[in-house]
A and B are shown apart, each in its own frame.
Chain A
Amino acid sequence: MKVLIAVKRVIDYNVKIRVKADHSDVDLTNVKMAMNPFCEIAVEEAVRLKEKGIATEVVAVSVGPKAAQEQLRTALALGTDRAIHIETDERAESLAVAKLLAKVVDEEQPGLVILGKQAIDTDNNQTGQMLAALTGLPQGTFASEVAVDGDKVNVTREIDGGLQTIALTLPAIVTTDLRLNEPRYAKLPDIMKAKKKPLGVKTPADYGVELASKVSLLKVEAPAERKGGVKVASVDELIDKLKNEAKVL
């Protein structure tokens, strides 16, 4: 079975985000970038499936600027076999990415597609779902456990009320939650070998997908600074404050 994974280049989670002076966007100049942590989990899951002999080939796809190849190389160093870079400098929104991924799914015919449940830059949480809709494949989102069983995959999902396990018929789409696995560190010889693994470069036009967005970004603002909290003396006082000051009750 072939496993396809999606990998996004995002601002590193350690970086303090700054907004551009003209509020047009987040300031990315010289900011450290990294693989989206949820995508790291997707890579790890796919590599484990390969180590278990369930996956025969793991293919990573990334849509983004040329530099996104760094993240694809990381995926290759971690055990991915091959990578596809769909190069664009335009802001690729979830729907456009899902459309591109749908084309790749069509071309590659994977048995399983694993994506992060969201990317930590825009926190949209929708690409996997859109891809499922576009491809007509079943989806298991927020996975904390993935077990392939014959032509099915059992996905344990983290939902508000607890855990829910669903059985999907393969091929299927899975999106990862934080607790699915703990990604490994790359080994030095594999980092060196990653350079020589195949990495194909395509453009959105190759897939006939138009990136032009229907959404326009009006303004980006930093969240208001958090004010210092207060200690309350009793539960009654808390309820009173919630009712009368915060007006949330």
Chain B
Amino acid sequence: MIDYQAPLRDMQFILDELAGLGQITDLPRCEDASPDLVAAVLEEASKFASGVLAPINRQGDLQGCRLEGEQVITPDGWQEAYDQFREAGWIGLSLPQEFGGQGLPKLVSTPVWEMWFSTNMAFAMLPQLNVGQTEALMIAANDEQKSTWLHKVVSGEWAATMNLTEPQAGSDLGATRMRAEPTEDGSYRLFGQKIYISYGEHELTSNIVHLVLARLPNAPEGVKGLSLLIVPKFLLDDDGQPAEKNDIRCISIEHKMGIHGSPTCTLSYGDKEGASGYLVGEPHQGLKTMFIMMNDARFNVGVQGVAMGERAYQAALDYAQQRIQGRNIVNGASNQPIISHPDVKRMLVSMRARLMAMRGLLYTAASWFDIANHHADTQVADKHSRYVDLLMPVAKGWCTEVGNDICDEAIQVFGGMGFVEETGVAQLFRDARIMTIYEGTTGIQANDLLGRKILRENGTTLRELLFDIRTTGKALEQVDELRDLATDLDELTTQLHITTDWVLEQDQARIADLYGGATPLLHLMGTVCGGWQLTRMALAAHAKQNAAGEDPDYLAGLISLARFYMATFAPQAYAHARAVRYGGQVLTNFPESAL
């Protein structure tokens, strides 16, 4: 497979033109993110991704991890790459400066994480856990806990995990059983089992900080009775150094279809005297913290969607330029590379169109995070915070589903060579497949979108978003050359408009019908938001077309991507809208016995 090259030009275009990097730089605490610094960060990250992470990706897949006793051995090269990654300071990119990070805005860290995931998703999950855990501890930990744990987690000297899942508690965390019993010194003893814990055990770092969801004695049933605890692999001595081994054992690792380099562990807590842990935040408030950081975590998995798709697209494009096969159906020429076949070109353009749509959506959403976190005007901050809430299930659910589709299409471009393992595209497809499952399945995202993000607030934020999309439509109408896109966007948006009205009109009696259409609704939202971003991109490209020093082919290509999307993917909005309105009811009445 061809070497990865970070799509720096596409990234930069979207940062500047769609996500408004210029405005983000002006926000308080984002001043460091000047355009030249951002360009330098992306450039150096791209070298690191191509030079260090990409070369060990295949080895990680072939070799996988293994359990020897209670010890997990990661693939060859993982240790060296992790050391380099940590020493280069990349973990701290967007993390707080007070704990040794660089505190750069999410808009800057997003393309960088895209590169890490593109080149080695199984590896990149490890440092990503440090980022997620830091965000959780920043929300809920007390000052003493922050100073004990965060410096080492931000630097990457210690690794981090998220311990949520149990055999009976997957999508439904309310079913969590892990027990945490108070001791006299104020700490807790944990007993129970966690499954599917990514990087739950390994030897890459001198300690692992587990963040564990558990239940205290007398906790209320369900999600209202969950507490978060820090449970280190090694307890710290008086100097804060890892010393005594805690009562946690890795009892097995999973054999998976993909991300073989990432150990997925079953952890047993408290086989002896109980694993020592420290309560983070208030008792029974664990889920609240989880909810705050969930937006971040879900967003990051959404970024995996575009990242895996990009890698697959680059491979497919290169293969299509090299592979000679078939007579050109139009002009009869033989010995042509397959890219000359209209159908192969179709696959490549449809991959690229959706990649740019996803990237537009994700980077724009990253800027909303930054505005929500930093804008001085609380009204502006609040609006963007609601946008983040509304769109996170879409960013996660839709971008990962589309990412999978793109990896699948790349295999198709490779023909038989896509199905055999040696080209590496099969690995991308296998690795990517987890994205729609962890951090909440697509179904869970869809429920969240419909229930918590639309019905609960009676569609208020969604209507604001629709208004914003219409505003882009108005801008398109002002440009003669893009008027067709204005019409397309109008028709596309109307589908979401009608469906929103319809959803909000239904009464409680039809709630089952509505949930039967939740996933189609998520796809509808994704399809509309993707089209919206591509028309924004077309507007920006058009505005630059006559500027000096611009590449007209590139800009014309961006406008064509919007047109192709409108011709090919936007019509699917009709189908999704119909599935929402008419599918649910059939499902509700469908007898299970007929399955």
Residues of A that sit less than 8 Å from B by CB: 14, 29-30, 32, 34, 70, 73-74, 77, 185-189, 191-192, 194-195
Contacts of B32 in A (CB 8 A): 192
Is there an interface contact between B84 and A191, defined as CB atoms closer than 8 Å?
A: no
* Distance in Å: Cβ of A43 to nearest Cβ of chain B: 13
Q: 13 other contacts beyond A30-B551, A185-B48, A189-B102, with CB at 8 A cut-off?
A: A14-B3, A29-B551, A70-B36, A77-B40, A185-B44, A185-B51, A185-B84, A185-B88, A187-B87, A188-B88, A188-B90, A188-B92, A195-B37
- Is there a chain A Cβ closer than 8 Å to B89's Cβ? yes
- Is there a chain A Cβ closer than 8 Å to B5's Cβ? yes
Q: A30-B550, A32-B8 are in contact. Are A185 and B47 (CB under 8 A)?
A: yes
Q: List 15 A-B contacts (CB under 8 A).
A: A14-B5, A30-B551, A32-B8, A185-B44, A185-B47, A185-B51, A186-B47, A188-B41, A188-B89, A188-B93, A188-B102, A189-B89, A191-B41, A191-B44, A192-B37
Is there an interface contact between A70 and B102, defined as CB atoms closer than 8 Å?
A: no
- Is there a chain A Cβ closer than 8 Å to B52's Cβ? yes
Contacts of A30 in B (CB 8 A): 9, 549-551, 554
* Distance in Å: Cβ of A119 to nearest Cβ of chain B: 19
Residues of B that sit less than 8 Å from A by CB: 3, 5, 8-9, 32, 34, 36-37, 39-41, 43-44, 47-48, 51-52, 84, 87-90, 92-93, 102, 549-551, 554
Contacts of B551 in A (CB 8 A): 29-30
Complex CA–CA separation, A190 to B8 (angstroms): 21
Is there an interface contact between B36 and A77, defined as CB atoms closer than 8 Å?
A: no
Q: A14-B5, A32-B8, A186-B44 are in contact. Are A73 and B88 (CB under 8 A)?
A: no
Complex CA–CA separation, A187 to B44 (angstroms): 8
Nearest chain-B residue to A188 (Cβ)? B89
Nearest chain-A residue to B85 (Cβ)? A185
* Distance in Å: Cβ of A147 to nearest Cβ of chain B: 26
* Distance in Å: Cβ of A188 to nearest Cβ of chain B: 4
Nearest chain-B residue to A12 (Cβ)? B5
Complex CA–CA separation, A32 to B3 (angstroms): 16
Is there an interface contact between A191 and B8, defined as CB atoms closer than 8 Å?
A: no
Nearest chain-A residue to B555 (Cβ)? A30
Complex CA–CA separation, A200 to B39 (angstroms): 21
Is there an interface contact between B549 and A70, defined as CB atoms closer than 8 Å?
A: no
Contacts of B39 in A (CB 8 A): 70
Is there an interface contact between B88 and A186, defined as CB atoms closer than 8 Å?
A: yes
Nearest chain-A residue to B553 (Cβ)? A30
Is there an interface contact between A194 and B48, defined as CB atoms closer than 8 Å?
A: no
Is there an interface contact between B9 and A32, defined as CB atoms closer than 8 Å?
A: yes
Is there an interface contact between A70 and B9, defined as CB atoms closer than 8 Å?
A: no
A-B CB pair tally, cutoff 8 Å: 58
Sorted nearest first, the 7 A-B pairs with minimum C-beta distance are A188-B89, A30-B551, A186-B44, A187-B88, A185-B48, A189-B89, A187-B89
Contacts of B88 in A (CB 8 A): 185-188
Complex CA–CA separation, A191 to B87 (angstroms): 13
Complex CA–CA separation, A77 to B42 (angstroms): 13
Complex CA–CA separation, A74 to B41 (angstroms): 10
Is there an interface contact between A73 and B48, defined as CB atoms closer than 8 Å?
A: no
Contacts of B34 in A (CB 8 A): 195
Contacts of A73 in B (CB 8 A): 36, 40
Complex CA–CA separation, A74 to B42 (angstroms): 12
* Distance in Å: Cβ of A169 to nearest Cβ of chain B: 37
Complex CA–CA separation, A81 to B56 (angstroms): 33
Contacts of A34 in B (CB 8 A): 43
Nearest chain-B residue to A27 (Cβ)? B551
Complex CA–CA separation, A191 to B33 (angstroms): 12
* Distance in Å: Cβ of B34 to nearest Cβ of chain A: 8
Q: A32-B8, A77-B44 are in contact. Are A185 and B52 (CB under 8 A)?
A: yes
* Distance in Å: Cβ of A86 to nearest Cβ of chain B: 19
Contacts of A194 in B (CB 8 A): 40
Question: A14, A29, A74: which has the most chain B beta carbons within 10 Å?
Answer: A29
Is there an interface contact between A191 and B90, defined as CB atoms closer than 8 Å?
A: no
* Distance in Å: Cβ of A241 to nearest Cβ of chain B: 24
Nearest chain-A residue to B551 (Cβ)? A30
Is there an interface contact between B40 and A74, defined as CB atoms closer than 8 Å?
A: yes
Complex CA–CA separation, A192 to B44 (angstroms): 11
Contacts of A185 in B (CB 8 A): 44, 47-48, 51-52, 84, 88
* Distance in Å: Cβ of B156 to nearest Cβ of chain A: 11
Is there an interface contact between B5 and A74, defined as CB atoms closer than 8 Å?
A: no
Nearest chain-A residue to B52 (Cβ)? A185
Complex CA–CA separation, A14 to B88 (angstroms): 24
Contacts of B9 in A (CB 8 A): 30, 32
Complex CA–CA separation, A34 to B36 (angstroms): 14
Nearest chain-A residue to B49 (Cβ)? A185
Question: B40, B102, B554: which has the most chain A beta carbons within 10 Å?
Answer: B40
The one of A29, A70, A189 in contact with B40, judged by C-beta atoms closer than 8 angstroms, is A70
Complex CA–CA separation, A64 to B84 (angstroms): 33
* Distance in Å: Cβ of A209 to nearest Cβ of chain B: 27
* Distance in Å: Cβ of A123 to nearest Cβ of chain B: 23
Contacts of B3 in A (CB 8 A): 14
Is there an interface contact between B41 and A29, defined as CB atoms closer than 8 Å?
A: no
* Distance in Å: Cβ of B299 to nearest Cβ of chain A: 21
Contacts of A70 in B (CB 8 A): 36, 39-40, 43
Question: B3, B48, B88, B550: which has the most chain A beta carbons within 10 Å?
Answer: B88
Contacts of B8 in A (CB 8 A): 32
Contacts of B36 in A (CB 8 A): 70, 73, 195
Question: B3, B48, B52: which has the most chain A beta carbons within 10 Å?
Answer: B48
Nearest chain-A residue to B84 (Cβ)? A185
Contacts of A77 in B (CB 8 A): 40, 44
Contacts of B550 in A (CB 8 A): 29-30
Nearest chain-B residue to A190 (Cβ)? B89
* Distance in Å: Cβ of B51 to nearest Cβ of chain A: 7
Contacts of A32 in B (CB 8 A): 8-9
Contacts of B84 in A (CB 8 A): 185
Nearest chain-B residue to A30 (Cβ)? B551
Contacts of B102 in A (CB 8 A): 188-189, 192
Complex CA–CA separation, A189 to B41 (angstroms): 10
Complex CA–CA separation, A73 to B34 (angstroms): 14
Nearest chain-A residue to B550 (Cβ)? A30
Contacts of A14 in B (CB 8 A): 3, 5
Contacts of A74 in B (CB 8 A): 40, 43-44
Question: B8, B37, B93, B554: which has the most chain A beta carbons within 10 Å?
Answer: B37
